[in-house]
């Protein structure tokens, strides 16, 4: 008899309910014995074999995690010490990254290295100081601008991996990008690029919007805002 696996969705802010529904549908299609739970406390996180960190507002998520007793430390342990399967989408990608690049000021800040102002004082970026880390990338937040700059782009599914439910090797997934980050830079050869899109301001330039490293996956887009569950199916197939 197979053991039921528990997958958590961080439910501090963002589209966690949609992720839960997609994971449940994906597990049913794969005939995997998976329980999906909403995670708000270290005790709930401790039950999980895998975790999805949803889109939303990265600063808000990090602040709520900091104010929830022991939650930020528990998340960091889950991701970087226990190395359990973790998938960050949009804001979730930011939180599992190793640093932030501001494309307007062209400044990069890595976790653990606070910026120094003109007076020699340390300036803490609240999101950078609350990064969970684990994924060796630097991201640029809100790269595509305001919500009016949202768009949908087709991404080749086979680049993400295989699932018994997907038989068409040329199948694409319509990815929804809303105030999305991009991966500005990879910091390790262990990071595998899964998907790129054209830069709207320079079509000769490609932007990294999905990556994988060991037990971690990060996507700039919101797979939970589509009716399509195939990215969730691939994640469950690969990591659990």
Which pLDDT belongs to residue 56? 77
Strands (E), the chain: 5-10, 34-39, 50-53, 86-89, 99-102, 107-110, 115-116, 122-123, 137-140, 151-156, 172-177, 182-186, 192-199, 202-213, 216-219
Q: All domains of the chain, ordered by start, with CATH?
A: 5-239 (3.40.50.880)
Q: Are the C-beta atoms of 146 and 227 separated by less than 8 Å?
A: no
Q: What is the mean pLDDT of the chain?
A: 89
Which pLDDT belongs to residue 182? 96
Helices (runs of H) and strands (runs of E) counted in the chain = 7, 15
Task: Indicate which residue of 19, 20, 212, 222 is catalytic.
Answer: 222
Q: What is the mean pLDDT of residues 195-221?
A: 94
- Answer yes or no: 196 catalytic: no
Q: Per-residue confidence at 118, pLDDT binned at 50, 70, 90?
A: very low
- Does this model's pTM top 0.85? My answer is yes
Task: Indicate which residue of 20, 22, 48, 224 is catalytic.
Answer: 224
Which pLDDT belongs to residue 41? 94
- Answer yes or no: 232 catalytic: no
pLDDT over threshold 90, residue 211 = yes
78-111, pLDDT tens digit by residue?
A: 999 999 999 999 999 999 999 999 877 788 888 7
147-175, pLDDT tens digit by residue?
A: 556 899 999 999 999 899 999 989 999 99
Task: Indicate which residue of 90, 212, 232, 233 is catalytic.
Answer: 90
pLDDT over threshold 60, residue 58 = yes
- Answer yes or no: 48 catalytic: no
Q: Which of 71-85, 139-153, 158-172, 222-236 shows the lowest per-residue confidence on average (mean pLDDT)? A: 139-153
What is the distance between the alpha carbons of residues 7 and 217, in angstroms, rounded to a whole number? 15
**Better-scored residue on pLDDT, 39 or 103:** 39
């Amino acid at each position: 008899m197979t053991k039921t696996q528990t997958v958590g969705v961080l439910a501090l802010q963002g589209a966690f309910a949609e992720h839960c529904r997609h994971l449940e549908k994906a597990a049913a299609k794969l005939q995997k014995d998976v329980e999906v739970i909403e995670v708000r406390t270290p005790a709930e996180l401790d039950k999980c074999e895998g975790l999805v960190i949803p889109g939303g507002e990265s600063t808000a998520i990090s602040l709520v995690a900091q104010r929830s007793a022991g939650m930020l430390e528990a998340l960091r342990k889950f991701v970087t010490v226990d190395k359990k399967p973790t998938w960050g989408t949009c804001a979730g990608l930011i939180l599992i990254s190793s640093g932030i690049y501001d494309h307007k000021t062209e400044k990069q800040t890595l976790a653990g290295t606070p910026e120094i102002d003109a007076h020699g004082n340390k300036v803490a970026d609240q999101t950078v100081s609350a990064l969970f880390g684990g994924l060796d990338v630097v991201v640029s937040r809100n790269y595509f601008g305001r919500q009016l700059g949202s768009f949908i782009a087709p991404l080749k599914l086979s680049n993400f991996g295989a699932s018994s439910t997907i038989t068409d090797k040329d199948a694409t997934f319509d990815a929804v990008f809303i105030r999305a980050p991009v991966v500005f830079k990879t910091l390790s050869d262990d990071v595998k690029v899964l998907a790129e899109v054209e830069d709207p301001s320079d079509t000769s330039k490609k932007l990294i919007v999905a990556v994988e490293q060991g037990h971690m996956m990060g996507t700039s887009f919101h797979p939970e805002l589509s009716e399509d569950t195939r990215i969730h199916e691939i994640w469950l197939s690969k990591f659990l």
